[in-house]
Structures are given as structure tokens and as C-alpha cells.
Amino acid sequence: MQFYSTQDSKHKSDLKSAVLKGLAPGNGLYMPESIPTMDEAFWDKLAGMTVGEIGFETLKHFFCPDIPEVEFKQLTADAFNFPIPLVKVTDKISSLELFHGPTLAFKDVGARFLARVMASFTSKGEKPINVLVATSGDTGSAVANGFLGVDGVNVVVLYPKGLVSNVQEKQFTTLGQNITAVEVEGTFDDCQRLVKTAFMDEALCEEMILTSANSINLARFLPQMVYYFYAVAQMSKEEREKTVICVPSGNFGNLTAGLIGHQMGLPIKRFIAATNINDIVPQYMKTGKYKPAPSVATPANAMDVGDPSNFVRIQELFKHDWEAMRESLKTEVVTDEIIHKTIKDVYETTKYVLDPHGAVAYKALEKQLTGDEKGIFIATAHPAKFPDIVEAEIGREVEQPERLKAFLKGEKQVENISGQYEDFKKFLQSNAKFK
């Protein structure tokens, strides 16, 4: 399959080039040239399939034969090797728990897949591949751990100083090996700007191979569709058509993958995009005018994005038809106060423990469900990653999984730079391992 640029549909790329470049020329994002529809045989056997098998059947249309099917089947089985349970919270609402992977966050799905795709593209004797990733929370840890120890690939994680939780920070600053953590004086948007600017710097890209592991990379966001298919696999056929899925949305890659799955035939009723007070997309849905703004810090920090990169992909899916988008996609904004209150109220009534991002999605879903609809919210991170927020609301300690305890014992290793691009460029150029 070919992939086109959102900036210029005439620009086409093969899979390997699109994955390794990350961004298309002119700051465009790559999109698949066509979106297939899954056949009846797939739906007939869906309920008995593993996550890896679903991954193979849905993603092979985009990644094969560039990656041979035999190799790709093993790749998906290896990448999607942890449970993704659908857990009932109330009679009408269930949680799709995506936090049972290595770093306890949904981004393990995309990061593990991307690492294995990139590894299939590396060859001995070539320049190393340098993955640049900006993170507002969980992306950095998922990508760092997904790529840890992969030969021929270096990872540089940029994160805003003081704006990620201690637990999140420990998960990507304590690894060493081929992982470099860079603390930036600024916000997530500044980190993302540094990454994008580096990709557009032709002189720098002549010196070294640079690519992205943020959801701007098509091999990071596309595999996220797999868990939507797996969610409906755990439901009866009658339930599926009444189901509304609510996605906590920051950079909007997660929702984009779900919407592509929907175009492939995912049999659900509709999606809701839930945001915190960084409400750029909800405002667009009201006015038709897209107005980026500086991001604002909230308890749901991984969603603190003032200019969500992937929203242009959603516009592409709807052919830039604002009315069609409004008809198919609903939005909801959840304030900081309501995030805290939702964590407390849901625990008191159900004993289910939400993290701040899950609380945003739960509340948005609860507000918008009507009639006989059933709801699924995407639980993107384990609540133990946000102990200060969660424990204050539920009145007890959140039990820490053993793999999280291991991260917390690690020693922080980090570089520090300003938010100026020239400082970041000098940092990359001065480090021989990136060349």
C-alpha cells in the first residue's frame, strides 16, 4: 500500500519510507491511500481470536507484503502479548483496560508494534535510526521500553520539566542503553515543536536518520485500532450495535485509529472524543474554526495538548466536511474539578479505581449515553501512575504492580536543554552515537 501526505495528496510514499521519515514533506502526516473493509469471514471468527490474531488480520492490509505475512504474523503476536480486558463498571458502562502492558499505559500497544516494525527495517552497516519522541506523560515510557535494547535504533525522549508525574518520569529516565531522556524548559507543545523542527531541518537529516515514535508516525497510531476490534470481540453481536466508545483525547491518535477501524466495519454506534480543559477540538466542533492555543496543565496531563497533531488525519477521514464530522463524532469537555469528583464518586459507588484520564472519558460517556445505549470508555493508564491525585480522592493507597515498583527504584539519567531549537540541534550533533 502507498501512503499519502495530508499536506499534498499527490505526494506518495511506500511503507518503509513513511515509517522511517515519520513526517511527510511540508510537515504533512502520512495516511493510507485506501481503507479496506473487513469481510464476513473475519466477523464470524472474531469472538475466538486473540489480540495478536486480530492485529494480523486488520493490519496486514497496511503492512504486507512490505513485511512478509509469515514474519508479520509473528510480529503481531509478539507485540500484542498482554491482556486487554473489558471490565464491567456499571450496568451501562464498561472499561477497556489498556494498562496491562510493560509500562501500564495504552501506548504500549503502538510502541511495541512500531519498535518491531522498525527493527524489521534495520540492516547491519547502515546508519543508526534515531527516534525522536515528545511526551506529555505515557508516550515516553511506552516508546522507551518498547525500543529498549533494539539494535540499530536510538531513542531520544523529550519531556517538559516538572510537567510529568514522578512515576511517568522514572519509566523513561532510568533505562540507559539506547534510551536518552531530555528534560526541556517549556511545555509539551515546545517539545513537540522541537521534534517537528528537527524533522524539517534538511541539513540535520543529511547528517543522521531521524524518525518519530509519536502518534504522528503511522506505524504508531494504526495498531491502536486493534483494541477496538478486540473490545467488540468480547461482546455479543446484539450489544455491539448499541455501543458508544468514549476516548480520552490529547493528540488524537487514539481516536483516529478507532475511526479508521470504524471505516473498516467496526460495528459500533458512535464515538465520543473526551478532552480536559484543553478544548481545541470541542471548540472547533462548535464553530468550525480550528484555533490552537497554549496547553494548560491539568490532572490528566497526557491530554494537555494545545494543538493536537492527529486532528488533521480525522479531518482527512471526513474529507474536511465539518457537518459530516459533527454528525458522526461527539465531544465533551471535563474540568479539573469534575475529574477529581469523578474519581471519588465512581470509587464510592462501584469500588472501581479510575486514573485522571479514565475519569475524563467515564464522565463524558456518562453524560452522553441515552436510551438503551451501552458505553465503553478507554482506560489508558493504571491509576498507580498517579498516586497523589487518585489516593487523595479514594482515601487509600493504590496498590503498585511489581513492574512499577522496579521502575521507581531506578536512578534518573537525564540531559537538560532550553526550549530553543538550536540548543536541541547542537545536542544531537554533538553526540556521536546518533550519526
Domain limits, the chain: 83-103+221-398
Beta-bridge mates of residue 23: 29
Q: Say what the pLDDT of residue 213 is.
A: 82
Size of the chain in residues: 435
Question: Maximum distance among all alpha carbons in the chain?
Answer: 61
Of the residues 107, 196, 363, 425, only one is catalytic, namely 107
Stated pTM of the model: 0.88
3-state secondary structure 15-37: HHHHHHHCEEHHHEEEEECCCCC
Low-confidence winner among 162-171, 304-313, 324-333 (lowest mean pLDDT):
162-171
- Residues 118-139 have a mean pLDDT of 80
Q: What are the pLDDT digits (tens) for 257-300?
A: 999 999 999 999 999 999 999 999 999 999 999 999 998 989 99
Cell of 219: 506505524
**Residue 41, Cβ density class (10 Å: 0-12 exposed, 13-18 middle, ≥19 buried):** exposed
- Quote the distance between the C-alpha of residue 71 and its chain's center: 24
Cell of 338: 469534575
269 catalytically annotated: no
Question: Which stretch of DSSP H or E encloses residue 114?
Answer: helix 107-121
Question: Which stretch of DSSP H or E encloses residue 390?
Answer: helix 387-394
DSSP 303-322: G--SS-TTHHHHHHHTTT-H
Q: What are the pLDDT digits (tens) for 354-373?
A: 999 999 999 999 999 999 99
Q: Say what the pLDDT of residue 124 is.
A: 54
Q: Grid cell 510493560 — which residue?
A: 102
Q: What are the pLDDT digits (tens) for 293-310?
A: 998 989 998 899 999 999
Coil/strand/helix, residue 381: strand
Beta-bridge mates of residue 131: 155, 211
**Residue 119, Cβ density class (10 Å: 0-12 exposed, 13-18 middle, ≥19 buried):** middle
Question: Which stretch of DSSP H or E encloses residue 281?
Answer: helix 280-287
Of 433, 348, 432, 364, nearest to 396 (Cα)? 348
Contact 34, 26 (CB under 8 A): no
Q: Say what the pLDDT of residue 141 is.
A: 84
| pLDDT of residue 139 exceeding 90 | no
CB within 8 A of 319, min separation 6: which ones?
none
> Hey, CA dihedral for 225, 229, 231, 232, is it positive or negative?
positive
CA–CA gap between residue 190 and residue 386 (Å, rounded) = 23
CA–CA gap between residue 171 and residue 173 (Å, rounded) = 6
Q: What are the pLDDT digits (tens) for 385-431?
A: 899 999 999 999 999 888 888 888 888 899 999 999 999 999 999 98
Q: How confident is the model at residue 167 (pLDDT cuts 50, 70, 90)?
A: confident
Of the chain, the percentage scoring pLDDT greater than 70 comes to 99
CA–CA gap between residue 92 and residue 371 (Å, rounded) = 10
Fold classification of 83-103+221-398 (topology level)? Rossmann fold (3.40.50)
Cell of 75: 510480529
> Hey, CA dihedral for 197, 198, 199, 204, is it positive or negative?
positive
